[in-house]
Structure 1
Amino acid sequence: MTVIPTLETERLCLRPMTIEDWPQHERLMGSDRSQFMGGPTPRHVIWGIFSHDIAHWVLFGHGALMVDDKTTGKTVGQVGLNHGSLFPEHELGWFLYDGFEGHGYALEAAQRMRKWAFEELGLKTLVSYIDPKNERSRKLAERMGAVIDPDAERHDPVDLVYRHPAL
């Protein structure tokens, strides 16, 4: 049986997804906010993405975790590791729900997930595939020390591949 971890930072709890996360996830992926993640998408595709994020744990031993603010208890977004046929390398990805930008949540969650990926999973490489127009994600990757790798393989030829430094 796959054990999905709960990771923590000073302010955040990164926890396994539950069905209670579905409505907020559905709203995001059906809205224009999901434009850099292939959206907005129809409901049946959103369900597939939601299920995919959970299935990764069984298939690969890693996947997505929801990000909760410990003080308020609110779910502010998601951070995760992707792999498989659409991801030539292990990918670190993140998103925030509307209204939670500008508080450092994505950076804090992504740094914690990256640390877990290198230290606990023993990954040797980690990248983030980012749409060139997604300035916020590009800046976050750069704050984490990731640099563009123009030679890296990518599923979407438009994406920039940011390579994260090993810890």
Structure 2
Amino acid sequence: MLPTLDTLRLRLRPPRFDDWPDYARLMSSDRAVHMGGPFAVREAWGMFCNDVAQWELMGHGALMIDARDTGQCLGQVAINHGPLFPEHELGWMLYATAEGRGIAFEAAHAMRDWAFAALGLATLVSYIDADNARSRALAERLGARRDDSAARPDPGDLVYRHPRPAT
């Protein structure tokens, strides 16, 4: 069963097909440049399906970020792994309307803590495009530190290693 995680302002919930149009718009826009995009619809659809399929195949994947007060979908947070990722990765992306309000921090913090607790991970990283200053700052705000010796899926990515939360 896929988790639903609640924070003060957010509900992180399993993806639904009606999330696809906003996801596709983001992935085909210039906002996807730090993820290797913009992407054609076919590529974006494969990525969306991968985010969902990881739950069945690996016991983790993507959750959509909803505002608890309005139900508006604000973006996505995920634990990624498999043949495309050398280590378990905490990733995030927000729709433009959600930026600048601490949404990504709140969602990533909740997903990170869930991953360590539910999956029993020893370590967790974020792969971040070197030019993505906002995501680098968010990783550091979450307590992650650069690990220049870590393997990465793209040679241009920086790797930020997240500490296990104190118990």
The corresponding residue for 2:151 is 153
Deviations 1:138-161 (A, max 9, x none): 000000110000100111011000
| TM-score computed with the length of structure 2 as normaliser | 0.98
1:78 is matched with 76
Structure 2: give runs of 5+ residues left out of the alignment: none
Residue 125 of structure 1: how far off its partner (Å): 0.4
1:7 is aligned, of 5, 8, 22, to 5
1:1-167 matched pairs, under 5 angstroms: 3-167=1-165
Q: Distance in 1 between matches of 2:152 and 2:139?
A: 17
**2-structure distance, mates of 1:121, 1:11:** 24
Distance 2:116 2:79 in 1: 11
TM superposition shift of 1:99: 1.6
Q: Residues 66-117 of structure 1: CA distance to partner in whole angstroms, max 9, x if unpaired? A: 0000112110010000001110000000010012101100000000000000
Write the distance in 2 (CA, Å) between the matches of 1:119 and 1:139: 24
Structure 1: unaligned runs, 5 residues or longer: none
Count of paired positions? 165
TM-score by length of 1: 0.98
Cα distance in 1 between the residues matched to 2:35 and 2:13: 21
State the secondary structure of the residue aligned to 1:62: coil
Hey, what's the Cα distance between the residues in 2 that align with 1:141 and 1:38? 19
The percent of aligned pairs where both chains have the same amino acid is: 60
